[in-house]
Structure 1
């Protein structure tokens, strides 16, 4: 019930902050802030997506991922999404998530709630069984189907 109430209160807090801060800095400054943080969030999200792709490619080619890189990347991507969403509270949380000490605190809190189950013998290289068999190379001409051409593919 508490989560539901927080979910309902979030937009009300954002509207209240828009009214209070917008009254202090003005309409155009408020709109500029929303647009600029949205653009910054999109740019950060694109950068993190490209960086994540490079890390994944490196991991697939056998290079070890830097310690904590996936979690830090997810934190920065979440910060980018929060910056994209309009609102001063979401922007403040997004900017806080860009700070490494805050990332460490949040990732530690999240990881403490996650249980990772590993079974012995699973994963790459876990199976040592060898399957023997025989093979015959089939020439491409012999592999084609021998049937009448379709009337849909015939040229007139």
Structure 2
């Protein structure tokens, strides 16, 4: 229901603002403002988007909860879409989403309304995950078991298979393209 209201209300707000601003300053200045906000918005979204990607990578590298940097990145993406959409209302919301304090307020509001039931990274959860990663990074090793599958190869059949494929023998000189 809210989505339907937004799809009806936002275009009506934009039309009213276009008529009001266009009547006050004229057609060409109105179009110039719309074009200028799209160009400026694209530049700001690009620079802040790169910073957001860096924050997400840093949270993954430090094994921190990436929820907030991902949310900021998503809001920057939404801001870019809003700034490229012609209109004064969408530009105002887009520019607001480009300010970190506004994004933080939106994130805190959403965090209060959304309940996360479980969270896991790398197959482990909670403190055990952080303890395992700290142990890995500190160089401490226990008796580690690596599971795997293997197939025993009979040396005589392997040599016959290589001859069938006409593999070069080690007595050949290197071609210059590869190192032997």
Which TM-score bucket, shorter chain as reference? 0.5 to 0.7
Provide the residue aligned with 1:47 in structure 2: 47
Unmatched tracts of structure 1, length 5 or more: 147-156
Provide the residue aligned with 1:101 in structure 2: 101
| Alpha-carbon separation, structure 2, partners of 1:56 and 1:143 | 48
Provide the residue aligned with 2:141 in structure 1: none
Provide the residue aligned with 1:152 in structure 2: none
Provide the residue aligned with 2:118 in structure 1: 118
TM-score by length of 1: 0.67
Q: Secondary structure at the match of 1:39?
A: helix
TM-score by length of 2: 0.60
Structure 1 position 83 matched with structure 2 position 83:
yes
| Bigger Cα Rg | 2
| Alpha-carbon separation, structure 2, partners of 1:91 and 1:80 | 9
Mapped contact 1:45–1:81 kept (Cα < 8 A): no
Mapped contact 2:56–2:70 kept (Cα < 8 A): no
Label 1:124 to 1:34 Cα distance change in 2 as closer, same or farther (>3 A). same
Provide the residue aligned with 2:140 in structure 1: none
Runs of 4+ in 1 over 6 A off after TM superposition: 143-146
- Structure 1 residues 122-146: Cα deviation after superposition (integer angstroms, max 9, x where no partner): 532639874265566898x947996
Unmatched tracts of structure 2, length 5 or more: 130-143, 166-180
Provide the residue aligned with 1:151 in structure 2: none
| Alpha-carbon separation, structure 2, partners of 1:144 and 1:31 | 74
Structure 1 position 6 matched with structure 2 position 43:
no
- Structure 1 residues 12-69: Cα deviation after superposition (integer angstroms, max 9, x where no partner): 1101110101111111111111111111222233334433444454455x34569843
1 or 2 for the larger relative contact order (CA 8 Å, sep ≥6)?
Answer: 1
Mapped contact 2:42–2:80 kept (Cα < 8 A): yes
| Alpha-carbon separation, structure 2, partners of 1:47 and 1:107 | 20
| Alpha-carbon separation, structure 2, partners of 1:55 and 1:2 | 32
Aligned Cα root-mean-square deviation (Å): 3.7
